[in-house]
Amino acid sequence: MSESTMMSQIKRTFSLLNQRACSRSSSSFFTDSDSAGLVLQSHSTDVYQNLALEDWIDANVELQGRGILLLWRNRPAVVIGRHQNPWTECNLPVMRRAGIPLARRRSGGGTVFHDLGNLNLTFFTSKKAYDRQRNLKVVTDTLRRLRPGLDVQATDRFDILLNGRYKISGTASRLSRKSSYHHCTLLHSADRSALSSVLRPSCPGIQSNATPSVPSPVANLLDHAPSLQWEELLGALVQQYNTEFGLHSALTVIDPTNESMFPGVGEMEMELRSWDWTFGKTPKFTMETQLELTNEQPPARCSARLQMEVKNGQIESCHLDVPVEWVPVRLSSELSSVLIGERFCPHRAAAAFSALLRSESGATHTRLHRLCDAMLTVMG
């Protein structure tokens, strides 16, 4: 089948699947088994485009009596759960230096590192048909079929463990108006040292009721099944999905930025990229930590205490307790007050401090500078 024929068939399928508004006018198309499921693979490796595609399918596709499997992978990125705190879950300075973006997804659960060696699977169904264990069975059945000796097991936390110890897959999900999706990772050949360097806290001393991650030792499938190629894994997963759900869907590659096929997906992508969504949705938290201040000429050292309250990613209150020998009280209280209302972000804080720094000179300026640097360091 030519690509254009395939694409127009997909378009037709999507527009028929879109008939939420006229759900009563069921045609025989809906009873045709080919329309009972779709298997899609995203052409994009951009985390925001792929998350937007999930949002689009969730919002627009009629899923009563049918399911969709979406396969996708991303260039290196960290993805946090809906109600998580990025400053406790990942190392933002390391990520910035490495050019690894942060995304917040709409499903719950914990923080994961994505790269091209990690496969993401999203199972879209109606809320009634939502069944995570069944979906994970598709994955474990596939792996056992491909490599019969492999010890893989889904846990009651919906992780998949290899050899009873190493996490190769984690799960999260979302229940929305009429439908649901369950997505999971699958570590084939991810960069484990990058993973462990980014999945560490950015800031000390954060107290919050955000949902925490449960850290687990991980392993790559490729390390335990060295001949298991990516394409082989994908093909077998598609086959097992079809078997499990009684479908005959061929894998179709789609472009999640195709606005004519997915009208409105671009706007969803923009929202996912926004600071307001990624950082602004962080549950309220307090940060309390000690700053160690040292100076060379003349040699000096002391400790200061910093306490902040952050809501919607913005600094609501800030208290700085600095010994007066370091800088006068008027300066430390000025430093606190310029931060109120600013985003909890070292760049914004640095900009806010700059005017104050310019107005001082000599030894006071040096010590003030040290104090500012210490504050920026603990803000991720």
What is the contact surface with other proteins in residues (CB under 8 A)? 81-83, 106-109, 128, 130, 172-177, 180, 182, 209-211, 283-284
Q: Give dist(CA 289, CA 304) in Å, integer.
A: 9
CB of 233 to other proteins, least distance (A): 26
Indicate the residue among 211 and 333 with the shorter CB distance to other proteins.
211
Residue 82 CB, nearest distance to other proteins (Å)? 5
Measured from the CB atom, the residue of 258 and 312 that comes closer to other proteins is 312
Task: Enumerate the β-bridge partners of residue 302.
Answer: 293
d(CA 177, CA 126): 10
CB of 174: closest distance to other proteins in angstroms? 5
Closer to other proteins by Cβ: residue 93 or 264? 264
Distance in Å, CB of 217 to other proteins, minimum: 22
Positive or negative CA dihedral for 58, 62, 64, 69?
negative
- % helix / strand / coil in the chain, to the nearest 5? 40, 25, 35
Coil vs helix vs strand at 131 = coil
Question: What order do you get walking across the sheet with 112-114 strand by strand?
Answer: 102-104, 77-80, 112-114
Task: For other proteins, give the closer residue by CB, 66 or 105.
Answer: 105
Task: Pick between residue 175 and residue 236 the one whose CB is nearest to other proteins.
Answer: 175
* Identity of the residue, 176 or 303, whose beta carbon is nearer to other proteins in the bound complex: 176
Answer yes or no: are the C-beta atoms of 33 and 247 closer than 8 Å.
Answer: yes
Report the run of H or E that residue 17 belongs to, with start and end.
helix 3-17
Closest approach of other proteins to the CB of residue 111, in Å: 14
Residue closer to other proteins by CB (options 51, 247) is 51
**Minimum distance from residue 87 beta carbon to other proteins (Å):** 17
For residue 211, the minimal CB distance to other proteins (Å) is 5
Instruction: Strands of the chain (E only): list them.
Output: 37-42, 67-72, 77-80, 102-104, 112-114, 118-126, 152-154, 160-162, 166-169, 171-175, 179-187, 206-208, 251-254, 285-295, 300-311, 314-321
